[in-house]
């Protein structure tokens, strides 16, 4: 960016030479080196998209002419690149000037502080920061000698790595899935024998058919039979307990006959038989769903009394109602519930790998999504996910995961298209986060942050991605908060930029980036900020050994300005 600032100062300089007769301005220009200046930060550093500048100092006593006004402008300039960028101009005036600028005492020292920022340009990286001042007194003016404040702009925040956490939508494939087949045998009052009519009931017929199927289907692996047997809560408690045990035994024998018929041999511990006595819980559930007139009263009795005999007595006092209970409720409670447990063994990894290549129509969506996890070849993964998206167009996971792979392949624009497809199918937080990562990498930080907020429920990874945007925006404290418990290169970078060198070193040492070229390079910057020369040189040696190109980068890096010529 070429500015006309210096040309303006040159014109003023010529006029100042003509008007040099002003003793007040001449004395101020001559004694300008007595002004104490302190620039922060030094060297300057990019923060967000800007280069911030703070200048603090003091005008000494007996310096500032009472009738003078001075305009001061800091300027970043790089003559070889034709670059000039001026900070805002500020004004100061003597005690007898009729104006609204900051007044500087003549008799006493006067402190001043200047703050401003300008947009960063790469042309300003190797620029000089100078302070230009023009004094006026009445109709006369004088250009003071430029005051050099510093050299260059550090771009350390630009070391941030593109380690956006893109999320994959997981499949629900299970190699082994536990199932059960359920049947119920009902009994007559005070009886435990299994009637032949019960064996012909639909559920027991289905149970026998399933047992038979398990002998010919190698994917069905029986794991056990559970029996829970009950008595209805009428009659003597001890007798009912014994009756429930007998019903459990009879149900076990009924199942044993079915297994034997199908030539299935099992050990005794294959069965888990429990006689659970009187079924007051089942009684209450049936009462609640019944249309018996006094059911609310009966439920209150159950809640008032825990003793079974007391409950039975109170309920029998409702003579008419009890008859209805005896006919409609109690028979359902005299039962054994049989649970035939088995594992369904799904396709093996080898089978899925074969089918995905040779006959993908054999696989359901979970198996197809799982198939992509069985290869490390990114092209193969992408092909599988795109194929799954075609076969199951209403499932957002396939296009989302295709986008995930494209991000790994360094193709964010194409990845973004897939994430948008996924979001059009299902407005889900995973794809919102992923599209945010694309937006950030393509330079749209505002859109990225909005998408991350939409995807926040997807997990801590989303907040980590917010932290990346925070670093780019110069919000280092916020970045550290969003990074949470992660330890990465970027976490260390944020902590160092926020002034916590010790915390930065801890985060870096705990990260997977510790022994990488950039990890050593960042460690060298941390040591430079700690003024530890040995640490700087040692880490730079490790960094350049892994990546020789970093040698030239380090020589130009203003973070190492104190150590130039030593590495």
Whole-angstrom distance, CA of residue 341 vs CA of residue 179 = 6
CATH number at residue 258: 3.30.1330
Residues in the chain: 567
CATH number at residue 81: 2.60.40.10
Whether residue 42 is found in the same domain as residue 136: yes
Domain end among 435, 451, 483: 483
In a domain, 163, yes or no: no
Q: Which domain holds residue 68?
A: 5-154
- Quick count: other Cβ atoms within 10 Å of Cβ 548? 10
In a domain, 159, yes or no: no
Query: Biggest alpha carbon distance in the chain?
Result: 129
Q: What is the chain's alpha carbon radius of gyration, rounded to the nearest angstrom?
A: 41
Whether residue 201 is found in the same domain as residue 331: yes
Helices (H), 276-358: 280-289, 295-304, 308-316, 319-328, 330-333, 349-358
Whether residue 417 is found in the same domain as residue 490: no
Whether residue 351 is found in the same domain as residue 440: yes
Cα separations (Å) of 495 from 49, 99, 335, 498, 499? Answer: 19, 45, 68, 5, 6
Whether residue 295 is found in the same domain as residue 319: yes
Q: What is the pLDDT of residue 23?
A: 59
In a domain, 102, yes or no: yes
Whether residue 328 is found in the same domain as residue 390: no
Alpha carbons within 13 angstroms on the beta-carbon side of residue 105 total 9
In a domain, 341, yes or no: no
Domain end among 335, 368, 394: 335
Domain end among 483, 510, 544: 483
Q: With contact defined as beta carbons under 8 Å apart, do 385 and 405 qualify?
A: yes
Supply 397's token pair: 């996971």
Q: With contact defined as beta carbons under 8 Å apart, do 280 and 233 qualify?
A: yes
Total domains present in the chain: 4
Whether residue 323 is found in the same domain as residue 351: no
Q: What is the pLDDT of residue 10?
A: 39
Helices (H), 55-191: none
In a domain, 164, yes or no: no
Q: What is the pLDDT of residue 319?
A: 59
CATH number at residue 350: 1.25.40.10
Supply 148's token pair: 């050099």
The H or E element containing residue 483 is: helix 476-483
Supply 301's token pair: 């009795």
Whether residue 354 is found in the same domain as residue 287: no
Low-confidence ranges of the chain (pLDDT < 50): 1-22
Whole-angstrom distance, CA of residue 87 vs CA of residue 425 = 50
Q: CB within 8 A of 498, min separation 6: which ones?
A: 476, 477, 479, 480
Whether residue 38 is found in the same domain as residue 134: yes
Whether residue 187 is found in the same domain as residue 325: yes
Whether residue 26 is found in the same domain as residue 133: yes
List the one residue out of 315, 317, 309, 305 whose CA is nearest residue 278: 309
Whether residue 314 is found in the same domain as residue 288: yes
For tokens 């590495």, the residue is 567
Q: What is the pLDDT of residue 9?
A: 40
């Amino acid at each position: 960016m070429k500015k006309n600032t210096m040309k303006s100062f040159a014109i003023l300089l010529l006029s100042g030479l003509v008007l040099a007769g002003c003793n007040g301005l001449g004395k101020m220009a001559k004694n300008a080196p007595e002004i104490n200046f302190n620039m922060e930060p030094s060297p300057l550093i990019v923060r967000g998209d800007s280069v911030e500048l703070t200048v603090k100092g003091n005008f000494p006593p007996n310096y500032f002419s009472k009738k003078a006004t001075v305009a001061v402008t800091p300027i970043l300039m790089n003559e070889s690149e034709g670059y000039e960028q001026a900070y805002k101009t500020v004004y100061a005036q003597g005690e007898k000037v009729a104006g609204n600028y900051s007044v500087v005492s003549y008799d006493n020292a006067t402190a001043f502080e200047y703050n401003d920022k300008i947009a960063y340009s790469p042309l300003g990286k190797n620029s000089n920061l100078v302070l230009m001042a023009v004094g006026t007194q009445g109709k006369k003016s004088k250009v003071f000698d430029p005051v050099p404040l510093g050299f260059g702009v550090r771009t350390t925040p630009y070391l941030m790595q593109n380690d956006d956490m893109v999320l994959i939508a997981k499949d629900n494939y299970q190699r082994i899935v536990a199932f059960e087949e359920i049947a119920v045998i009902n009994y007559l009052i005070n009886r435990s024998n299994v009637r032949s009519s019960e064996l012909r009931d639909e559920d027991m017929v289905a149970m026998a058919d399933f047992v038979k199927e398990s002998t010919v289907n190698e994917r069905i692996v029986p794991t056990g039979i559970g029996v829970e047997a009950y008595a209805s809560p009428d009659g003597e408690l001890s007798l009912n307990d014994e009756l429930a045990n007998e019903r459990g035994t009879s149900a076990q024998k009924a199942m044993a006959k079915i297994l034997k018929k199908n030539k299935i041999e099992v050990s005794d511990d294959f069965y888990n038989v429990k006689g659970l006595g009187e079924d007051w819980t089942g009684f209450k559930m049936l009462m609640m769903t019944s249309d018996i007139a006094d059911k609310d009263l009966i439920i209150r009795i159950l809640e008032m009394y825990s003793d079974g005999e007391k409950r039975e007595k109170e309920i029998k006092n409702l003579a008419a109602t009890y008859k209805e209970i005896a006919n409609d409720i109690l028979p359902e409670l005299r039962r054994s519930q049989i649970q035939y447990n088995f594992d369904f063994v799904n396709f093996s990894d080898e089978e899925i790998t074969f089918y995905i290549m040779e006959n993908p129509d054999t696989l359901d969506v979970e198996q197809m999504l799982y198939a992509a996890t069985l290869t490390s070849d990114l092209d193969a993964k992408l092909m599988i996910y795109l194929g799954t998206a075609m076969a199951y167009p209403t499932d957002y996971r396939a296009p989302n995961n295709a986008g995930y792979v494209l991000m790994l392949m360094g193709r964010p624009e194409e990845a973004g298209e897939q994430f948008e497809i996924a979001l059009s199918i299902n407005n889900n937080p995973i794809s919102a986060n992923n599209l945010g990562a694309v937006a950030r990498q393509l330079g749209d930080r505002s859109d990225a942050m909005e998408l991350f907020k939409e995807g926040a429920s997807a997990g801590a990874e989303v907040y980590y991605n917010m932290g990346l945007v925070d670093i780019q925006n110069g919000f280092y404290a916020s970045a550290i908060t969003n990074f949470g418990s992660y330890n990465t290169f970027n976490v260390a970078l944020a902590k160092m930029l926020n002034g916590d060198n010790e915390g930065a070193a801890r985060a870096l040492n705990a990260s997977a980036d510790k022994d990488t070229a950039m990890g050593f390079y960042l460690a060298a910057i941390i040591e430079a900020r700690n003024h530890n020369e040995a640490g700087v040189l040692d880490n730079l040696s490790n960094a350049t050994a892994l990546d020789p190109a970093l040698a030239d980068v380090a020589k130009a890096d203003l973070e190492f300005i104190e150590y130039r010529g030593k590495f």
